[in-house]
Amino acid sequence: MVHLPGRIFRRLVRSLFWAASGFLLLPGALPAWAGASENRETFEAVRAADLKLATIGWRLSVANAPLCDRLEPGLGLQLHTLDQFDSASRTAAQVHFGFATPVAVEGVVAGSPADRAGIRQDDSLVRVGPVDLAALPGKPETTQRLVAAQLAIADLPPAAAVEVEAIRAGAPIKLTVQPVPACRSRFELLLSSGYNARADGTMVQISSQFIEEYTPDQAAAAVAHEFSHNILHHRDRLEARGVDFGMLSGFGANVKYFRQTELQADLLSVYLLANAGYPPRAAIDFWNRFGPSKAGGIFRSRSHPHWRDRVATLEAEIAKLETVSARPMVPGVIAERSQPLSGDWQSLLIRHR
């Protein structure tokens, strides 16, 4: 489990946003308090936390590719850009990470195609297949170039070999990566002292507290739930129903549709976990730990079922999947993702007794 040093974590919570494939260092985040050694400690703590989520996302995306109708080439690369650092921190970051181009490898998922091909952290990228990374649009102190790079790479064929040109320790290198199909989704980590998680159809975002405070399996369960929303196209289907998001999600006709999507995501999440080699009961462990003290805000709104009922529903579904040995398991809810939401959440829910 990644653990950020306490003083580093508290300072970063006040000043940083980071993503699973990079982070944004906001103006004044480091220079006011960090010397060279603390800069290094901070950069490496962020790198380690990013890689933790990237690895969870990788496992879930690759193992469950047969369940997804939107795919991308699974490389196992975790990228970041020099743009993401403010002007006061950019020089320190450039030296620490050895940026020789605007986009570099922050980390590599162990055992991934990129790892097997010999790509290493701090390789500065010139080209990935036909994608000229330096030519992508980017503005200082934004993640614009990072997102553009991720989307351009995701548009490549999911299983075709990719030639990667990079600069390592000042010398050009050229490597060939044989990707594997992966579900198309970005995974971002929000550095925060709160507990927030969301999915928008193309991205999963989760607060750093889930990585910091929960076991790897429990954190994977939280990610799998949000990832399920993307696989089931819930955002598109909710918008097609004309629902209100945000504060109005717990009122009127909105409720039944949000509850249906929440329960569908719960049910699919345990299959995603099992297919990826995580224990399905991690979802129950997560809710039993999270629910009693922290299931507030959106987690306790009228649009979300009570956490005890969610545990009872998960218990019943896990009992079903534990009788199935085939992998990957494809639950029936996958076949429903092209259909309009019916609002029938009652038939999915099992009440806690």
The reply to whether 81 and 176 lie within a common domain is yes
Report the Cα–Cα distance between both ends of the chain, in Å, rounded. Answer: 34
User: What pLDDT shows up at residue 227?
Assistant: 98
Whichever domain contains 79, its CATH number is 2.30.42.10
Is 345 among the domain residues?
no
State which of 143, 161, 183 marks the end of a domain. Answer: 183
The reply to whether 39 and 153 lie within a common domain is yes
pLDDT tens digits, one per residue of 104-138: 999 999 999 999 999 999 999 999 999 999 999 99
Domain that holds residue 268: 232-336
pTM to 2 decimal places: 0.87
Is 346 among the domain residues?
no
The reply to whether 57 and 114 lie within a common domain is yes
Rounded to the nearest 5°, which phi and psi values hold at 190?
A: -100, 115
User: What pLDDT shows up at residue 241?
Assistant: 93
Number of domains in the chain: 2
pLDDT tens digits, one per residue of 219-257: 999 999 999 999 999 999 999 999 877 644 555 578 899
